[in-house]
Structure 1
Amino acid sequence: MARAVRRCLTAALLVLLLEAAGAEQTDTQVIRLGGKLSMTPPLPEEMKPLFNMWWKHGRDLVCEWDKDGVEIYIKYKGRSQLDHLTARLEIDNMTTEDNGVYTLFLNNNEQPWKTVVTVVRDVTKPSIQISPLKCSYLSDSCILTCEGDVTEVGEVTFRWKEDGGAWERQGQKMDITKLHHSKVENFFCQMSNQISDRQSEGVLNPLYKAPLNVLGLVLGVLAVLVAAAVGVVVLWKKKLLCFASKKAGGAAERKADEEDDLKPKP
């Protein structure tokens, strides 16, 4: 009985090992639009020596090698290279049409190693939109939205920061309240995908109200008072000079009249 159980367990273990050996292996690559895809799969010893190989993208043939040499098919011609010694395939100028699963066949046998490829664009510079439009420091709360073109950029994440603080992951929208954010002057958002990230310009917090600058106010009032005092002094000096000038002119006229009276009359 014990031997029978051991034989069953051994057989079951062997089946599991065989299934694991043939289990599908998936590699994932994210490629920048216009970039290069490079795939170098493992070559099982039991497949050697090789007498043919081909790569498929979904249902389409990419390339093929046999005793007659390498053939690259139309869609990939001029931008693909196959090394038949290592089975490495390289494709340049990748586009979103190249997204999908790539499969290798060796000696007429499909291999468990596959590559899932996603071609994405760099993210664009985002901007921050505030709602509602009438939101101001008199409001109790507002909503900030990080917006940007997400066409063909793949999976996107959004993060936020306040003034010069650290980036925090909060999603595309951020709720702000007077209770928690009234002292923040500026908000920034960042949009990222698997190959790039861009930061928005800072946007002024609509709930922020600049504190009253008492020192600046006092200095401003003093400056106005000093300017007024200087103006008064200048005006007063001008009036004194004008009065002195008129007084001197009157004295000169009186002296001239007196001299004329003292002259002998003909």
Structure 2
Amino acid sequence: MRRSSSLHQAALWCVLLCLAVRITRAQSQDLYRRVGDDVVLRPDLSSVREPVITSISWKHGDDLAIEWDRDGGVVEPYRQFRGQATLNITTAELKISGLTGNFSGKYEVEVNGKPIASSSTVLKVIFPVSKPTVSWRCDEGLTSCLLSCDGDVTAQDQVIWRRDVHKETHLPKQLNITRERDANYKEFRCVLVNQVSEESSEPVVNPLSKAPGEKPGEGQKWMTGLTVFISLLAILVVVALVHRSRAGFWFYDTEFMPWEGGFWRRSETAGEDHAANGRALSNAEAAESNGTNAAREQRHEAHRSILPNNGQQQQNNVMIIQASYASVTA
């Protein structure tokens, strides 16, 4: 009796194990593809007993997607599969190009009129994730902030937050940070992930790394202002050099405004004006030199007239010389 009972238990376990294996093999496989991609569904033909394949049919849900049989010899696609699906009659592989959401669903194949349960596949065509952005809102004392991962987040998307190089997964769209715990981190970013894609936001400087009471971004305002000032100054210098090269004189030497044509036109009289100015300066220097020579000659003449006279006459001549010298030097 005990031996018979043991045999029955062993047989029961074998049956249960076989059922479990069949159930496992019959379960559908989830296959993810992004919109616009191609996919190839490959059935397992190990269960096909016949040496030659005589017919193949693929079903999409309850509807026939594509079929072929040796007698007809023609591959016949249906509905949205026309022009986008091809069938390999040797391997029974189904290829679909340019996937859209209409191709999502369960696919089953029959070879030689018999279903192949192990090749049941659930195709899920989804869009790739969008590039997220990070926004934040802090309290007045700047002791804590709430970061938000903004983007087209769906139920299938996973949000990953990164503190510098540290990675935290399975978090909600919003992340609460505090000065006590997170002030030493330099930047934050969020990453959106689904089964077909991954996109990361641009890094955001940690708003809690600022001094207490300083609003996020204030520390960079002066750098922005300095950058703008240097850029404008560089533009002005370039414009001035271009004007000097084209017009032949500096912009402050003309009566025209920058938006007037004469401002950029080379002046034909510019050289003559400079030459005239040079001649006038030379004449003025010559006149000054002639006046100085005449004064010197007058002083020498007066000295020569002093020598033959007596004391009173010499004194009068000295006074005349002094008056003449004073008038010349004035």
Return the TM-score normalized by structure 2.
0.57
Of residues 56, 61, 70, the one that matches 1:58 is 61
Change (3 A) 1:192 1:263: same
Shift of 1:150: 3.1
CA contact (8 A) 1:137 1:208 kept: no
CA contact (8 A) 1:47 1:106 kept: no
Matched, 1:15 2:15: yes
Report SS of the residue matched to 2:4.
Answer: helix
| Alpha-carbon displacement from aligned partner over 1:102-146 (angstroms, at most 9, x marks no partner) | 111233333212111111222111011213xxx257233221111
Of residues 71, 75, 79, the one that matches 1:74 is 79
Matched, 1:110 2:106: no
State the match for 1:262 in structure 2.
319
CA contact (8 A) 1:157 1:172 kept: no
Q: Structure 1: which 5+ runs fail to align?
A: 212-258
CA contact (8 A) 1:137 1:206 kept: no
Shift of 1:210: 4.6
Change (3 A) 1:40 1:202: same
State the match for 1:88 in structure 2.
93
Report SS of the residue matched to 1:263.
Answer: helix
Shift of 1:173: 1.6
- How many angstroms apart in 1 are the aligned matches of 2:140 and 2:205? 11
Change (3 A) 1:11 1:185: closer
Of residues 30, 33, 37, the one that matches 1:31 is 33
Change (3 A) 1:210 1:72: same
- How many angstroms apart in 1 are the aligned matches of 2:123 and 2:58? 14
- How many angstroms apart in 1 are the aligned matches of 2:317 and 2:141? 84
| Alpha-carbon displacement from aligned partner over 1:181-208 (angstroms, at most 9, x marks no partner) | 2343432111111222111122233333
Shift of 1:95: 0.8
Shift of 1:40: 1.0
CA contact (8 A) 1:63 1:73 kept: yes
Of residues 32, 41, 44, the one that matches 1:42 is 44
State the match for 2:126 in structure 1.
120
Shift of 1:149: 1.3
Shift of 1:20: 4.5
State the match for 2:280 in structure 1.
none
Structure with more of its chain in strand, by fraction: 1
Change (3 A) 1:2 1:51: farther
Shift of 1:175: 0.6
CA RMSD of aligned residues (A): 3.0
CA contact (8 A) 1:138 1:207 kept: no
- How many angstroms apart in 1 are the aligned matches of 2:21 and 2:167? 44
CA contact (8 A) 2:44 2:116 kept: no
Change (3 A) 1:27 1:260: farther
- The one-letter code of the counterpart of 1:19 is L
Report SS of the residue matched to 1:16.
Answer: helix
- How many angstroms apart in 2 are the aligned matches of 1:260 and 1:172? 109
Return the TM-score normalized by structure 1.
0.69
Structure with more of its chain in helix, by fraction: 2
How many corresponding residue pairs?
Answer: 214
| Alpha-carbon displacement from aligned partner over 1:217-241 (angstroms, at most 9, x marks no partner) | xxxxxxxxxxxxxxxxxxxxxxxxx
Q: Structure 2: which 5+ runs fail to align?
A: 213-315, 324-330
Tell which has more relative contact order, 1 or 2 (C-alpha 8 A, sep 6+): 1
